[in-house]
Amino acid sequence: MSEKGDFIAMSCSPQSGCFRDVRSPFHLSGKTSTPVALFSGRPRRTKSAPVGVLGKVIRILEQLSQTSVGLPLREIAIRTNLNKSTAYRFLIHLEGAGYVFRDCDGYYMVGPTLAKLGTCTTLQTALSRASTGILERLQTATGETVDLAVLDRDEILYVSVFQSQHTFRIVSEPGTRRPLYCTALGKAILAYLPVEQQGKVLPAIRFERLTPQTICSVEELKKDLIKIHRRGYALDDEEALSGARSVAAPILSDDRKVIGGISISGPAVRVVRPKFAELAFLLQQAADEIALRLNGLIA
């Protein structure tokens, strides 16, 4: 597993021919089925209660679709004119089905399941719309894979992927999830979370040593997050996969709240350490431009 998920290696020589090595791709898939009821004779009467429940759920989703940074339970209850216990009960069901997700600070946002249905402009779709042209140019300029991701509970969720055209490259897919502690994107987002939210996320991390460079303790990760916040970008220096490196920068709102991150990833033979600062500068410029466009989309 890497910043990009799959590490595709292609090598050709007269002696050995060609080979392709793909490391454990992670895919999210799901199928939904719609129950069909067949009636004969007189139409069955329906009660009015389910319609009232549906209206309340729609009010919640409408409010969540109008914000890029999410809403706490109290604010949702106020905006929808529901009491907190009722709103919470609906949110629990919606979260379980993937229609909303809640971050570690207790803010609810429209989730990836609803985003796939295309029923409203969500944080993910707004970010994707705001960043597409910018990230395409960044991929062309660097030649490496460029990704956009957001925080989803205690993981990062890849929203958009712009693949390198090199045969030897890092590969992932939109919808893929990765850990926070060993990816540049995860650490870039984590470093800019409020201290209180960090305090909730860090103890829940289950560390796994993936390479000799993998961070495997909260104390070590905290030290790295301080450095990341100070310099403005994060690194995955062969921490998730030996031979792969990534550089990432956060996307920050006007009030400096992190709303996502972008990264450049590639094999260590091309993403060399002397290029870190240059790639970080390009990422920071792109992140600032995305933030400006995003403000225009959700204003």
Alpha-carbon distance values, 294 to 6, 49, 125, 252, 298 (Å): 29, 39, 10, 10, 6
pLDDT in the model for residue 70? 82
pLDDT in the model for residue 148? 94
Q: Helices 123-142 & 276-298, crossing angle to 10 degrees?
A: 150
Whether 32 has a pLDDT exceeding 60, the answer reads no
* Band of pLDDT at residue 181, cut at 50, 70 and 90: very high
Whether 78 has a pLDDT exceeding 90, the answer reads yes
Q: What value does the mean pLDDT take over residues 136-161?
A: 91
234-237 and 108-110 beta bridge pairing:
unpaired
pLDDT in the model for residue 29? 32
pLDDT in the model for residue 28? 29
Whether 170 has a pLDDT exceeding 50, the answer reads yes
pLDDT in the model for residue 115? 61
pLDDT in the model for residue 44? 45
145-152 and 17-21 beta bridge pairing:
unpaired
Distance CA 120, CA 62 (A): 8
Alpha-carbon distance values, 115 to 102, 129, 280 (Å): 15, 13, 30
Q: Which residues pair with 7 in a beta bridge?
A: 170
Which structural domains are found in the chain, ordered by start?
6-25+122-298 (3.30.450.40), 51-117 (1.10.10.10)
**Predicted confidence (pLDDT) per residue in 90-136, tens digit:** 999 998 887 888 877 788 887 766 665 553 346 677 788 888 899 99
Q: Judge contact between 158 and 178, C-beta under 8 A.
A: yes
Q: Which residues pair with 132 in a beta bridge?
A: none
Distance CA 62, CA 57 (A): 9
